Amino acid sequence: MRSSGNNSNRNHRGAGNSRDDKQKRTGRPPRPEERRYGKQGGPGGPAKPARKRPAPARSREYDAQIEERNRARHDKPAPKLPKTHGEPEGERLQKVLARAGLGSRRACEELIDQARVEVNGKIVTEQGRRVDPDKDEIKVDGLTIASQSYLFFALNKPAGVVASMEDPEGRQCLGDYVQNRETRLFHVGRLDTETEGLILLTNHGELAHRLTHPRYGVKKSYLAAIRGPIPRDLGKRLKDGIKLEDGYARADHFKVVENTGNNYLVEVSLHEGRKHIVRRMLAEAGFPVDKLVRTHFGPLALGSQKSGWLRRLTNTEVGQLMREVGL
């Protein structure tokens, strides 16, 4: 009987340690961490995670519409806010100069102090002058600065590239070098497909028009590879004029740059812009051109710019071009 009572006490102590008996004695509901869940989320096992529904697939057309709406929203011009009472019009002159690439605002203030800046033909010496860069003519050291809205590039066109912004036959053209630009560019003048060298690209219509108009006579220089021997009076013949089917063509300058055996490299400068003009002049004189490169366009030089490279013109170069045609 004693041993039976001992077993009963042990069982009672063991049962008293269970979570269920403890809850019965205390009379409180089980805590969340004490609850047991079965396979289906009920008592006796772990909860089964809920299945997520897959997101519906979107079509490419729908994604394209979203992209187009976002782009249209961001491409909208910034709203023009009304001026506060007494606010002066225009931008500070030193800010416009700095944006044009003439240095920091402090450096541009020094340009004004040195009386090197003029607005609409009058030299400005006081700080804080406000201007409208789209209407006012601003010059530094006599050169017109380029407005922010205009772009000017120089390309060393390789041989085989068509001198047009688009080509219906799918050949490589100038437009391939200026893709993804914010504004549409166009070329200034033309070069033959097989002619290499300097060609300008811009969105400044008036400057492009004047640079190619015969009235302004902008000079272009070319290096031509021909085979000799060549007579001593070839330069004189070219300067006096070569008769072509569309009239006489005259060179402004001619010189032999290099000579190796019967291979000659000559420089020809002229201000005309007729099609194939240099090739036609030399061929009519008896010396067909093997290779032709344009090295100068007005005051700009090709220099060491590599074939196929595009570079942005400096403000000084733009000012030189504008002065060349009276802008």
Is residue 160 within 8 Å of 172, Cβ to Cβ? yes
Confidence of residue 146 (pLDDT cuts 50, 70, 90): low
Q: Which residues make up the CATH 3.10.290.10 domain(s) of the chain?
A: 91-144
Q: Which of 321, 271, 300, 302 is nearest to 196 (CA)?
A: 302
For 45, residues 6+ apart whose C-beta sits below 8 A from its C-beta are 36, 37, 38, 39
User: Which tokens go with 80?
Assistant: 């023009």
Task: Name the residue with higher pLDDT: 98 or 289.
Answer: 289
Q: What is the DSSP letter of 40?
A: T
Q: What's the average model confidence in pLDDT over 112-136?
A: 87
Task: Count the Cβ atoms, other than its own, within 10 Å of residue 192.
Answer: 18
Q: What's the average model confidence in pLDDT over 68-83?
A: 60
Q: Which of 41, 46, 19, 14 is nearest to 30 (CA)?
A: 19
User: Which range is least confidently modeled, 97-106, 244-253, 282-291?
Assistant: 97-106
Q: What's the average model confidence in pLDDT over 142-166?
A: 83
Is residue 201 within 8 Å of 174, Cβ to Cβ? yes
Q: Which residues make up the CATH 3.30.2350.10 domain(s) of the chain?
A: 152-325
What's the pTM value of the predicted model, to 2 decimals? 0.61
Mean pLDDT value across the chain:
79
User: Which tokens go with 297?
Assistant: 């366009």
Start-to-end CA distance of the chain, whole Å, equals: 125
Q: What's the CA gap between 241 and 252, in Å, rounded?
A: 10
Q: Which of 20, 176, 192, 290 is catalytic?
A: 192
| Whether residue 134 has pLDDT greater than 80 | no
Q: What's the average model confidence in pLDDT over 68-73?
A: 67
Over the stretch 32-64, which tens digit does the pLDDT of each residue have?
A: 555 555 544 455 555 555 565 665 656 666 666
Query: What's the CATH number for 152-325?
Result: 3.30.2350.10
CATH topology of domain 91-144: 3.10.290
Model pLDDT, residue 37: 52
User: Which tokens go with 303?
Assistant: 């220099």
Q: What is the percentage of the chain residues whose pLDDT exceeds 70?
A: 70
Q: Which of 216, 222, 290, 292 is nearest to 254 (CA)?
A: 222
Rg (CA), the chain: 40
Q: What is the percentage of the chain residues whose pLDDT exceeds 90?
A: 30
Instruction: Output the CA angle 277-187-195, nearest 5 degrees.
Output: 40
Instruction: Output the CA angle 92-97-100, nearest 5 degrees.
Output: 130
Confidence of residue 204 (pLDDT cuts 50, 70, 90): confident
Instruction: Output the CA angle 167-173-179, nearest 5 degrees.
Output: 105
Confidence of residue 16 (pLDDT cuts 50, 70, 90): very low
Model pLDDT, residue 159: 93
Model pLDDT, residue 178: 83
Model pLDDT, residue 13: 47
Residue ranges of alpha helices (H) inside the chain are 2-16, 19-26, 60-75, 93-99, 105-113, 205-212, 234-240, 277-284, 315-324
Confidence of residue 9 (pLDDT cuts 50, 70, 90): very low
192 belongs to the catalytic site: yes
For 165, residues 6+ apart whose C-beta sits below 8 A from its C-beta are 173, 174, 175, 178, 185, 186, 187
